[in-house]
Amino acid sequence: MITKPSPPLILASASPRRHELLGRLGLSDFSVNAADIDETPAARETPRDYARRMAREKALALPAGETFVLAGDTVVAVGRRILPKAEDEATARTCLSLLSGRRHRVLSAIALRAPDGTLRERLSETVVRFKQMSTRELDAYIAGGEWEGKAGGYAIQGSAEGLIAWISGSHSGVVGLPLFETRALLQSAGFPLG
């Protein structure tokens, strides 16, 4: 019996976290090609719409071909406010001070473009609540540097996990790729999974 090889998969993200998470679905034979798009939120764009649009635009930004293209975007939101990726200590401190002692949402959107051009999308929404952080706890977290380049200024898979009082939803979605939704999306497109 001759088996047809699986069509190639491209992960349209340079995130090592998304790469690692995709591996948890048993996928190791994929390439990485980060999509370069303008990630500026549109005026009055809701966090949910923004996350979906970013995932969709990343999936469509790569050249079409005989490949599946998987893209994702993760947004940390307080109400309608989209928190930035923390590129400096001041931004991280502002984000974490805002999140301290309160609930926020993490929206993780994924989009999959099939070789025939069909686009499928899913969205994971997770509610997270940080404990009320003391100045000392906040300073210690900032000093550790995990916040660098992270939406909302934190990485749940690191020491921030010890500051989170509870979570309702997808842990992997907060990390950057909701595995349940990703698996379902790949399967619905006919991509072979083990």
- Whether 55 maps to a domain, the answer reads yes
Let me know if residue 3 belongs to a domain.
no
Is residue 4, in this structure, part of any structural domain at all? Answer: no
Residues 6+ apart with CB under 8 A from 146: 154, 155, 158, 159, 160
Residue 136 has pLDDT above 90, yes or no: yes
Whether 80 is in a domain gets the answer yes
Average pLDDT of the segment spanning 140-157:
94
Which of 128, 122, 118 has the alpha carbon at shortest distance from 180?
A: 122
- 73, 88, 116, 139: the active-site residue: 73
Q: Secondary structure of the chain: what % helix, strand, coil (to 5)?
A: 35, 25, 40
Q: Where are the beta strands (DSSP E) in 34-154?
A: 68-78, 81-82, 103-113, 119-130
* 92 lies in some domain: yes
Q: Is 173 a member of any domain?
A: yes
Would you call 49 a catalytic residue per the annotation? no
CATH number, residue 28? 3.90.950.10
Over residues 98-117, the pLDDT tens digits come to 999 999 999 999 999 999 99
Taking only the tens place, the pLDDT of each residue in 14-53 is: 888 898 999 999 898 888 898 889 999 999 999 999 999 9
Kindly state whether residue 154 falls inside one of the protein's structural domains: yes
pLDDT at 5 (0 to 100): 47
Total domain count for the chain? Answer: 1
pTM for the structure as a whole: 0.91
> Could you list the residue range(s) of the whole structural domain that residue 96 is in?
9-188
Domain membership of residue 127 (yes or no) is: yes
